[in-house]
Amino acid sequence: MEPKICLFVSFLFLYFVSLQADTLQTYLIQLHPHGLTSSMITSKHHWHLSFIEQIISSQEDPSSRLLYSYHSAMEGFAAQLSESELEYLQKLPDVIAIRPDRSFQLQTTYSYKFLGLNRPTSGGAWRSSHFGYGTIIGVLDTGVWPESPSFDDQGMPPVPKKWRGICQEGQNFNASNCNKKLIGARFFARGHRAASMSSSPNIIQPYVSPRDSQGHGTHTASTAAGASVPVASVLGNGAGVARGMAPGAHVAVYKVCWFSGCYSSDILAAMDVAITDGVDVLSLSLGGFPSPLFDDSIAIGSFRAMEHGISVVCAAGNNGPLQNSVANEAPWIATVGASTLGRRFPAIVRMSNGELLYGESMYPGNQISNLQKELELVYVTSGDDRGSEFCLRGSLPKKKVQGKMVICDRGINGRAEKGEAVKEAGGAAMILANTVINLEEDSVDVHVLPATLIGFAEAIRLKAYINSVRRARARIIFGGTVIGRSRAPAVAQFSARGPSFYNPTILKPDVIAPGVNIIAAWPQNLGPTSLPEDSRRVNFTVMSGTSMACPHVSGIAALIHSAHPKWTPAAIKSALMTTADANDHFGKPIMDGNKPAGVFAIGAGHINPERAINPGLVYDITTDEYITHLCTLRYTKSEILEITHKNVSCQEILQMNRGFSLNYPSISVIFKNGKKIKMMQRRLTNVGSPNSIYSVEVMAPEGVKVRVQPQRLVFKNINQSLNYKIWFISKKRSPGKDKMSFAQGQLTWIHSGNSSFYRVRSPISVTWK
């Protein structure tokens, strides 16, 4: 019997392998823009279908495999393929690249005041740009809650004539949900559905429509361009007037993110449509880990958007403070890190020994009657209660935490979810304790029970106190909303850091913007924590992340576009970068934890919209210059074709552009292999006043001598461009093998006239390899 058993097992194994080989996965197939076979087909859609027809049986409908046809963001399509079908397509002459569908993650009132947008000056950013009137911001996210007061269209101008988008109908969403503020809404779910069917076929997604099921998209869209809402707060906290950065701009929403993530096939489909719809700015509060530009769907789609005059703004990611963690590295993308605001929500822990621990919380102060007296502290870490120190659901024994104040370490599960776990176990209150990973980060939540978040240093003190007494006790003192007493902005602990992993000659992130404890619109079918158990309902809630920083810059980019509609995306980004602040509102260097922030944390600095509207000079960049830059990265001909859809010869390009450096607003210098001298060239265009003279001021990086020629730029006319050269001479030795060292400085062009004053600043990073 044994041989038969072995044969049967072998048969099952081979059958299993064959099933695995035939499993369908989603791929993005990029085609040559001037394909050899395209002229033989009546339409691009039918051309794309013809590739599928070659690999399936005659009985199968090719359209059942085709998810999307791309025309604007990329030439190609998304389809479900088996491994054998994939191998066949890779051999076809018109196929230039095939990439697996990838999942990207979301990078998640007062901020407009903090940025100075509400100043009553005639030359202010809001008034100079007419509040962004006529500009369209496309937001790729989790959708929108159209009934939010932030999308009320009272006082809005008519929908721009150039708009070609639609209000797509779907579950609990129809054309009447759009108006002069929310002028368009679509959803893209085919990539998500394909992934869900192969991994979790029983997942049910609420709102298969542009309607927001998670809140993130509503929050980011309102941050970028929300209407004025006079009485806004989160259960009484942070009360004030809520406004987006560009309250007069129109919003178009493209739902690409679902509970399982945001798939590149859906993202690229949304970008493809947004380009033809007529948006002016694309805001993407999503991303992943760094990847080569030719393997990055967002980089590829945004290149085509840039060619159509669309500014693309992306989140830098939440993987800070790790070095080289910045995502969305393409030089034609504005990459945004996160900063803090000068607004706090103190919730102080008073221990029974009289010592105070500073914490923060947005738990509503009118619901704290149960904390008028001290509670016993408990920190569950021993026994069989695995994960109890993180307060995972089901990990806390009721007999240990009933009626007590529970200490929960940050990590693994969500902050608000920890509070629900404590509440379910009978706990009366919670202290969230930062770990060495979070340090002093202070992202607050609207907890389901009285709770506060303390920093890592305070957590060490708290745990030392618990271990020093038999029965430790404490209470939480909630202090409401406090504005202007702390140094701000500062770099958010979670904000991703440079240098760019795959493109170190470009300094990333580009800028930082408010991304911590941001109050913005929220769906009225979700509680402020978004937990299903949270029955509270609000119009606004608080969130933190580079996801929140990104729409701040998207909105300000819309203001600049409205004030200067003929500017290129590169000019708009230059205005944002060269006017950014390196100092906080107290006039001192922006801090990163307990030290001054470096350029790999803040890029050019913290956005200053008042100055960005009128920057004086801009560093503009053409499409051809981006292509030359790609050649300097030693990308192959086919890799550059994947990104740019252009067939170029890098050998010829580099021969004609010897010593080329991209005309970027920031400067990244790399000394390697013992090289001591580096020369770069830049070009400035006058967008300020005619007959202007600018003088250069250099703060040289340590260990580097910097020489600039010429030292004065004399502009006679508006839109006149002038070049200058910079020589960097290293005065230090290169570090040892497999080591690097860094230094930073800045170069500023200054104009001081009778009626105008401009400072056009470029940060400098120097790396020795």
Catalytic residues: 141, 216, 547
b/e map 505-542, b = 16+ CB within 10 Å = bbbbbbbbbbbbbbbbbbbeebbbbbbeebeeebbbbb
CA distance 558 to 280: 7
Query: In terms of DSSP H, where are the helices of 281-436?
Result: 297-307, 398-401, 415-424
Helices vs. strands in the chain: H and E counts, helices first: 19, 40
User: Per the structure block, which two tokens stand in for 710?
Assistant: 């010429």
Strand positions, DSSP E, 481-560 = 482-483, 511-514, 518-521, 540-543
At 574, list the tokens: 């230059």
Start-to-end Cα distance in the chain = 66
For 504, 518, 565, 700, the CA distances from 703, given in Å and listed in that order, are 20, 40, 42, 8
**Number of other residues whose CB lies within 10 A of the CB of residue 130:** 16
d(CA 608, CA 575): 10
Q: Are the CB atoms for 395 and 493 separated by under 8 Å?
A: no
| CA–CA distances in Å: residue 743 to residues 68, 589, 667, 680, 764 | 46, 16, 12, 17, 8
- Measuring CA to CA, how many Å separate 723 from each of 289, 324, 761? 36, 31, 16
Strands 595-596 and 311-315: unpaired
CA distance 207 to 754: 58
- Estimate the crossing angle of helix 637-644 against helix 623-632, to 10 degrees: 150
CA distances from 116 to 37, 113, 121, 418, 517 (A): 56, 5, 10, 36, 18
Instruction: Tell me whether residue 744 is exposed, middle or buried, using C-beta atoms within 10 angstroms of its C-beta: 0 to 12, 13 to 18, 19 or more.
Output: middle
Answer whether the bond into residue 710 is a cis peptide, omega within 30°: yes
Q: Which residues contact 602 (CB under 8 A, 6 or more apart)?
A: 337, 339, 491, 509, 511, 512, 580, 582, 590, 592
How many angstroms separate the CA atoms of 700 and 707, rounded? 9
Return the amino acid letter for 375. L
Instruction: Look at residues 385, 386, 435 and name the one whose alpha carbon lies nearest to residue 415.
Output: 435
User: What secondary structure, in 3-state letters, does 113-160 show?
Assistant: HHCCCCCCCCCCHHHHCHHHCCCEEEEEECCECCCCHHHCCCCCCCCC
Residue 84, classed as helix, strand or coil, is: helix
The residues, ordered by sequence, that sit 6+ positions from 39 with a Cβ below 8 Å of its Cβ are none
Cβ neighbors of 480 (< 8 A, separation 6 or more) are 237, 345, 346, 365
Query: Sign of dihedral through CA atoms 78, 83, 89, 91?
Result: positive
- Distance CA(225)–CA(313), nearest Å, equals 14
Q: What does 299-329 look like in DSSP terms, one character per residue?
A: HHHHHHHHHTT-EEEEE--S-TTSTT-----
Token pair in block for residue 145: 């809650």
Compute the residue count for the chain: 769
